[in-house]
Structure 1
Amino acid sequence: MSSPVTVVEPFVSVVIPTYNYGYLLHRALCSVIAQQTADVEVLVINDGSTDETEEIFARFQRSTGSDVHMISQPNCGVAAARNRGVRAARGRYVFFLDADDELLPEGLAALRQALVSQPDAGMVLGAYLSVNAAGTERLRLPTQVAGSASERICRYLLEKKIAVSHSRSLFRRDLLLQRPYPEKLRSSEDVAVFACLLASATVVTTDTPVARIHKHADSLRHRRADQFFARQLVAEVFASLPGDCQRYRQRYEAQRYLSLFRAAARRGDQHSAAGLYRQALRLWPFQALRLCYLHTWVRVNFAWR
C-alpha cells in the first residue's frame, strides 16, 4: 500500500506582474527558482502583454522543468495584476517581484529570518541594491518603522522618512485581501496599500539586501497626472486610514498639488502650474510658501509675462 502524498502549503507566494517585459522575465524567474523550496510558489501574472512574454515563459518552463505558473488576463494595469496574484496565491505571505528586477541568492531566506522575532508581522522591509542605467549599484537600507499609526503615516506620506517598495518587501496576504490595490489608479496605486499596512500592522526589517532593483527609463510610467488624479489618490489613501490619521489629509493633498505644480512648471505649462499652486496654497499655505515652491512660482509667473 502506497504512502499518502504530503502536500506542503506555500508559506511565501512570489508574484511577478508583467506587461511587455518578456525580454527580462527569464532573469527574474531564474533569480526566484534558484532559491525556491517546497513551500514557495511562483506566479507570473501576464497583464495582456503583446510581446513574446507567453512564448518566453513556455520555453523557460520546458527548459527548467520548474514548478511555476502563469495567469494571463487582458491589460488592466498593474494594480489589477497584483490583485489577481493575491487572490490566486496560497501563501501566508506575498512577495511582489517586478519583472525587471531580480532576487539576490539569499533574498527570501533573509526575509523569512526577519519573521522569527515577529511571526505575525504584517510587512517585512529588506535592504536592496539600487542599480542605475549605467549598472552602478548602491546599497539602500530599510528605515526602521516605529511609533503610533499617526506618527508612521506622517513620516511616510508627509516627511518621506519611511520608504516602502515592491521587489524587496514581504506582505501578509490576508491584509492585502482586506486592502486591495485601487485598480482605478494607473500610477501611485501602491501608496494607499503601503499606508494602510503601516498604520495597521507590525513591521520588521532586515539589513540584508534581498534584491537588485533596476532603475531605467523603461521602468517608469510617464502618465501626465492632473488634479482629478490627485483627488482620486488622496481619497484612496485616506479611505483605509484610522481616524487619528485623517488630520493629515489636507496637507497631503496640498503636497500632491505641489508635486503636480512642479511637473507642470518643468514642461512649461504655466496655466496648469498656476492653478495647481493656488490649490495647494488654499489647502496648506505653510507648505506652499516654502522657498523651494516660491522660487518655482516666481519663475512660472516671470515666464508667463
Structure 2
Amino acid sequence: MISVIIPCHNAARFVERAIRSVLVQSYKHIEIILVNNNSTDNTLQILERYAASYPGKVWVLDEKKPGAPAARNTGLKKARGEWIQYLDADDELMPSKLSHQFNITALHPEAGVIAGGCILNYYNTGNPEEIMRTVDHHIWRGLINSNLGITSSNLWNRAALNDAGGWDENITSSQEYDLLFRLLKNGVVIITDPGVNTIIHFSDNSISKSKDKEKIKRILDNRINFRIRIRTELKSIGMLTAELEECIDNYIYMEIMRNYFDVPAYAKVLLKKFPYRIPFHRAALLKSKMQVKRLRTRIRNYIIR
C-alpha cells in the first residue's frame, strides 16, 4: 500500500485538484491522509466531504502546530502503507506516478527513496511557462545542487522515514533536502527516477521574492550551512572528491550572488567569510548566468502583476 499524505493550510482553492490527481492514479492500493493545518477558509469542509465520499480510504486529521513538516509527521504516524507519497495541496500527480515509481521499488528492493523529476508550472498572463526539472543520477552531487527530487516528486519508504525521525519541524526551508541528507547518513539507498510525473504549481504569490531582508539572510544562512554540513560528512566518510568540493563551492557562490542585490552588505560579508576556490573566469561565468536568471525572474514577476 502507498499512503498519500496531503498537508492542507487554507487550500480551498486548489486542494481538490490535488486529491483528484490521487484518486485517478492507475495504482489503486492507496489511502489518502488529509491533514488540516490551521485553515481558516473552508478547507476542512472540503476534506471532510471527501472523507465521507470515500470511507476507509480517505482520512482527515488535524495538526495545530503551524507548518507543513508538523502536518507531514502527523500523517506519517497515521500511515499504514509501506511507501509514503507526500503531496503539497497546490500540486498534482500525473495518473501513472504511483504505479511507475512503485514498479521501480520492485526492481530495487534496497531502495529507501525513489527520487523523481517534476514540471514547474509558472502562472503568467494566460500562458504558463513550464520548466522540466529532472534529477541528477549522482546522489551526492544532486543533494548539493538541490537536484534530487522534491517533496511531492519523490516516493518515500515509511520505515526509513521513521528511523530518521521524520521531518525536522524546526527548519523553514529546504526541508526535504535536510531529510534526504539524514536518510543518506542512515545508509538509505536513493534510486533516481528519470521519469517526470509530478506538477508543481507556482502562483504569483508563491514566486514573489520576499522583501523581508532578515528572512532572506536566514534562508541564505540555512542553505550555506547545509552545504558545509554535507562537506563535513563527505570528508568524514572519505568521499569528498575534487568534483564534489567544486560543486559545494559553486553552489555557495551562486546562492550568495543570487541574493546579492537584496542583501548586498551581508553578501559581501559572506564572500569574505568563506574560502572559495573558484577561478576568476569560472566566477565571472557563474555571476553572468545568475544575472540572466535574475533578469528572467524579474520579467516573469512583472508580467504576472
Give the TM-score of the pair, scaled to structure 2: 0.74
State the AA in 1 paired with 2:216.
Answer: R
Q: Render the CA deviation track for 1:11-40: whole Å, top value 9, x for unaligned.
A: 211111222222111111111122386631
Distance 2:78 2:55 in 1: 21
Q: Does 1:174 align with 2:138?
A: no
Q: CA deviation at 1:163?
A: 2.7
Distance 1:277 1:138 in 2: 30
- Matched residue, 2:20: 30
State the AA in 1 paired with 2:260.
Answer: A
- Matched residue, 1:262: 257
State the AA in 2 paired with 1:55.
Answer: Q
Distance 1:107 1:116 in 2: 15
Q: Does 1:123 align with 2:113?
A: yes
Contact 1:49 1:75 in 2 (8 A): no
Q: Does 1:278 align with 2:263?
A: no
1:210 to 197, 204, 216: 197
Give the TM-score of the pair, scaled to structure 1: 0.74
Q: Render the CA deviation track for 1:52-88: whole Å, top value 9, x for unaligned.
A: 2112212333456572112211243222222222222
Q: Does 1:108 align with 2:103?
A: no
Distance 1:131 1:271, change over 3 A: closer
Q: How many residues align?
A: 275
Distance 1:278 1:235, change over 3 A: closer
Distance 1:122 1:242 in 2: 23
Aligned positions of 1:1-305 closer than 5 A: 11-35=1-25, 39-63=29-53, 67-133=57-123, 134-145=127-138, 152-153=139-140, 155-158=141-144, 160=145, 162-179=147-164, 180-198=166-184, 200-219=187-206, 222=210, 223-226=215-218, 229-230=222-223, 233=226, 243-244=236-237, 258-259=253-254, 261-267=256-262, 269-280=263-274, 283-286=275-278, 290-292=283-285
Contact 2:174 2:223 in 1 (8 A): no
Distance 1:157 1:292, change over 3 A: farther
SS in structure 2 opposite 1:225? helix
State the AA in 1 paired with 2:50.
Answer: F
Q: CA RMSD in A?
A: 3.5
Q: CA deviation at 1:107?
A: 1.5
State the AA in 1 paired with 2:77.
Answer: R
Structure 2 stretches lacking a partner, 5+ long: 290-305
